[in-house]
């Protein structure tokens, strides 16, 4: 059984990942770590996650992942960047659900995938990955005759905006239109911005309460409108997808993959 280390294992998402790994018949818990000074450091990973004790003490650095076959990381961009560098040196595969990366950090992940296998995705839910395919298909059918807007909502603790999933949906729409998102994205609107340009893709972020994740893609045409929405009501959906990705990596040595690969949607 391949052992998995969970980065940020005491956080809300990390705890659900710990529970999901514990339920897998293919991978098992090998380690967990938090940032230095975190109150969970030194405690049993199972106790912190609300399950039975696992005789695995939470560490304060990625070094505790030594000897594991994979690291699941849903932390923060800078922390993940350091964890990727460590994993590459140690030959440990990675599942990355962190968002908010700079282009340089994304490039570092791509380069690391030359030596280790990485599943890197903005969202690990099955439903949202099906939605990505649907959005691309709808955009290709309606073309420039419909205006496309992406609206996302998350809890008030989320630091990056727009969400990685919203950007992924916008990328899917752009791919369907055969255009570059970089050249056509508009992030929110304020003031006298003028009339909407053709093929403009609007992306909007809402933050409030404890919303886990809601995404809507709107195709607005003349006299009609299509809305495609997805909501996450429990983090378990994302945690289970992350574990499925870790299981997928068991036979992989190198390469950069996403959840479309894991789910066989490509």
Known binding-site positions:
8-13, 53-54, 97-99, 121-124, 155, 164-165
- In angstroms, the CA 251 to CA 240 distance is 19
- In angstroms, the CA 252 to CA 116 distance is 8
Extract the tokens encoding 122. 């903005």
Please report, in range form, the residues annotated as the binding site for NADP(+): 54
Contact between residue 39 and residue 17 where contact means Cβ atoms under 8 Å apart: no
Q: Do you know the residue count of the chain?
A: 266
Choose, from 3, 35, 158, 252, the residue flagged as catalytic: 158
Show the DSSP H helices in the chain as ranges: 12-22, 45-49, 77-90, 103-112, 126-142, 164-177, 181-184, 236-248, 259-262
End-to-end CA distance of the chain: 28
Residue 158 is among the residues annotated as catalytic for this protein: yes
Choose, from 154, 184, 215, 230, the residue flagged as catalytic: 154
- In angstroms, the CA 37 to CA 57 distance is 14
Contact between residue 19 and residue 32 where contact means Cβ atoms under 8 Å apart: no
Determine how many CB atoms are found less than 10 A away from the CB of residue 233.
Answer: 10
- In angstroms, the CA 93 to CA 67 distance is 11
Largest CA distance in the chain: 62
Contact between residue 6 and residue 94 where contact means Cβ atoms under 8 Å apart: no
Residue 154 is among the residues annotated as catalytic for this protein: yes
Active site amino acids = 154, 158
């Amino acid at each position: 059984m391949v052992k998995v280390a969970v980065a940020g294992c005491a956080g809300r998402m990390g705890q659900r990942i710990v529970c999901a790994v514990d339920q897998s018949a293919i991978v098992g818990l090998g380690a967990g770590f938090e940032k230095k000074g975190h109150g969970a450091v030194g405690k049993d990973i199972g106790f912190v996650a609300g399950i039975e004790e696992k005789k695995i003490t939470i560490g304060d650095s990625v070094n505790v992942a030594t000897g594991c076959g994979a690291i699941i990381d849903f932390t923060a961009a800078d922390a993940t960047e350091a964890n990727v560098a460590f994993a590459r040196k140690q030959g440990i595969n990675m599942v990355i659900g962190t968002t908010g990366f700079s282009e340089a950090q994304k490039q570092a992940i791509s380069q690391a995938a030359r030596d280790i296998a990485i599943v890197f995705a903005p969202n690990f839910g099955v439903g949202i990955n099906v939605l990505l395919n649907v959005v691309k298909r709808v955009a290709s059918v309606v073309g420039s005759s419909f205006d496309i807007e992406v609206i996302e909502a998350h809890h008030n603790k989320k630091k990056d905006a727009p969400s990685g999933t919203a950007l992924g949906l916008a990328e899917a729409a752009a791919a369907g239109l055969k255009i570059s998102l970089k050249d056509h994205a508009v992030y929110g609107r304020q003031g006298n911005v003028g009339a909407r340009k053709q093929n403009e893709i609007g992306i909007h972020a809402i933050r409030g309460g404890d919303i886990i994740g809601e995404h809507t893609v709107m195709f607005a045409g003349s006299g009609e409108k299509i809305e495609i929405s997805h909501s996450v009501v429990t983090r378990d959906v994302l945690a289970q997808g992350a574990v499925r990705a870790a299981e997928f990596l068991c036979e992989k040595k190198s390469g950069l993959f996403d959840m479309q690969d894991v789910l066989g949607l490509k």
